[in-house]
Amino acid sequence: MSDNDGVKDGVNTPAIDRNTVYIFDTTLRDGEQSPGATLNLAEKLEIGRQLARLGVDIIEAGFPIASPGDFEAVTRLAQDVGQLDNPPVIAGLARANKMDIDRSWAAVQWAKKPRIHTFLATSDIHLQHKLRMTRNDCLEQVGEMVSYAHSLCSNVEFSPEDAGRSDPEFMWQVLVVAIQAGATTLNIPDTVGYCAPAEYAAMIEGIVKNVPGIENVIISAHCHNDLGLATANTLAGIQAGVRQVEVTINGIGERAGNTSLEEVVMALHTRRQFFGNLRTNIDTTQLVRTSKMVSAMTSVPVQPNKAIVGANAFAHEAGIHQDGILKNALTYEIMQPETVGWSSTNLVLGKHSGRHAFSERLKSMGYDLTREELDKAFDRFKLLCDKKKVVTEADLEALVADQFESINEIYKLDTLNVTSGTGSVPVASVRLIDEEGEPHGDAALGNGPVDAVCNCINRITGADAKLTEFHVHAVTEGIDAIADVTMRIEMHADDGKKYVYSGRSADTDTLVASGKAYLAALNKGLRRIKIHA
């Protein structure tokens, strides 16, 4: 393939640069499919703006047919992030049928650079057992639906779902049909995370060699992490000719997750020569900031040993390592922490800090709040300053995430009191306020104080919810540290199925943070029941 061969990747996009790996971020679509990681509209917009700042080329904003909420989110992202100067492409997912494609187009059409991403499975397992279709039906449907999508939008991506377990020769035929029907990007998903790196690379090489017209489109990798191989497979794909990678922040996604954006980007950056001097458009100094924002808003914590963005990613514990680092950082550090946005200076704010300093600090952390959101956040900051002498960026992160989490609440925590100690059964009394402003109170016992709080909230709301995970983390050091609580609950919906929801909250009182985190998760479940009622 030649460099800059003049191929257009859809609307308003310059010619494909074969020395660039285009970053397609699917945090808001596949990432949000991570159990419990539901985001509200305000959170999606905030993350979308940060992804643009990070420099991603394409944002997959959602699956518009999935629900009215998904449709609204993709539309708003297209109208907001999609209208920035030099904005990312905004993509909307659609199954290969007219209704899905119409819905996707209706949502993404507002973006300066819209894309319809349509998919149909090509593996025999999916065709026979899920879709009950023949291979011929599949070929016909891909031709018709890609061509239909192309009649609406010149930027069309097609994915043969479960490509990793598809018969390669049949998949090549499908890809030829997709190209002839107008697809500009062909995405090759290892949907179930089954492939090994050499196998995934061979699959891409097979496509490069056997699909006429492939030189006119971009080949994309989309890998899942069921065997922990998503990043390795994606990098192997790049070596075999992939020039778009579908990734998520922190690697969140279905089951074991998707390929992690920060891992692929930093592998290409750190081992530039090894990967043939390929570049990305990512501003690597925004990686940590974006990771923290996504973790805070999805209530999905980042494991400390996570590459690049985990708290321990640059922490050297062994004496020999510390000694080496002091003599020359190159001894044990292959990347500088500053390159990915770990700042050594964590300037603090306090009760004398004004609104301007507060707002500037939030902006530098990637939060672009409206005037109303900022007023609310500033009031909460002042209240926090009464309890805590110095407020760090970590405190601010917790404070803002808490504020976004509380949008769309069905119940708000009004008061909470807990009695516990040796020789007595813990008891909690809680008062909640509903959407109409009506108070509801009750009291309950529990095995421990947190259990008593959760039982009490269940009694008041009548919810059939069970706490399955509970994490407390002190945001900073010191006796006045904020407790950041993340909870996962299981809750039955009206369809009889059990769903997982996460909630997160921060407060200087651990039990108050626990009550609010439980309520945040519960509100998501209650909202789902209300929408489907």
Binding site for ligand KIV (CB under 6 A): 30, 119, 159, 161, 187, 189, 191, 222, 224
- Name the residue nearer to Zn ion (CB basis): 101 or 252: 252
Scanning 10-18, 25-33, 68-76, 485-493 for contacts with Zn ion by CB under 5 A, the matching segment is 25-33
Residue 269 CB, nearest distance to Zn ion (Å)? 24
Per CB under 5 A, the list member of 25, 30, 57, 262 interacting with Zn ion is 30
Smaller CB separation from ligand KIV, 115 or 224: 224
Compute the least distance from the CB of residue 65 to ligand KIV, in Å: 13
d(CA 145, CA 180): 12
Parallel/antiparallel/unpaired status of strands 465-474 and 427-434: unpaired
Each residue 359-388 as x (binds Zn ion by CB under 5 A) or -, in order, gives ------------------------------
Per rule CB under 5 A, count of chain residues that contact Zn ion: 1
Q: Is 161 in the site for Zn ion (CB under 5 A)?
A: no
HSE-up of 259 (CA within 13 Å, CB side)? 31
Letter for the amino acid at 160? P
User: Exposed, middle or buried: residue 2 (CB in 10 Å: 0-12, 13-18, 19+)?
Assistant: exposed
Give yes or no for a contact between 224 and 253, defined as CB atoms under 8 angstroms apart. yes
Distances (CA, A) of 213 to 96, 173, 182, 183, 319: 21, 12, 11, 11, 57
Distance separating alpha carbons of residues 46 and 59, to the nearest angstrom: 13
- Cβ at position 160, least distance to ligand KIV in Å: 9
Residue closer to ligand KIV (CB basis): 66 or 348: 66
- Beta carbon nearer to Zn ion, 119 or 499: 119
Cβ at position 225, least distance to Zn ion in Å:
10
Distance of CA 253 to CAs 34, 83, 391, Å?
4, 27, 32
By CB under 5 A, the residues from 436 to 495 that bind Zn ion are none
d(C-alpha 217, C-alpha 214), whole Å:
6
Q: How far is the CB of 44 from Zn ion (least distance, A)?
A: 18
The Cα 403–Cα 253 span in angstroms is: 24
- Of residues 292-331, which lie at the interface with Zn ion (CB under 5 A)? none
Shortest Cβ 189–ligand KIV spacing (Å): 3
Nearer to ligand KIV, 189 or 446 (CB): 189
Q: What is the sign, positive or negative, of the torsion defined by CA atoms of 260, 265, 268, 271?
A: negative
- Residues at the contact surface with Zn ion, assessed by CB under 5 A: 30
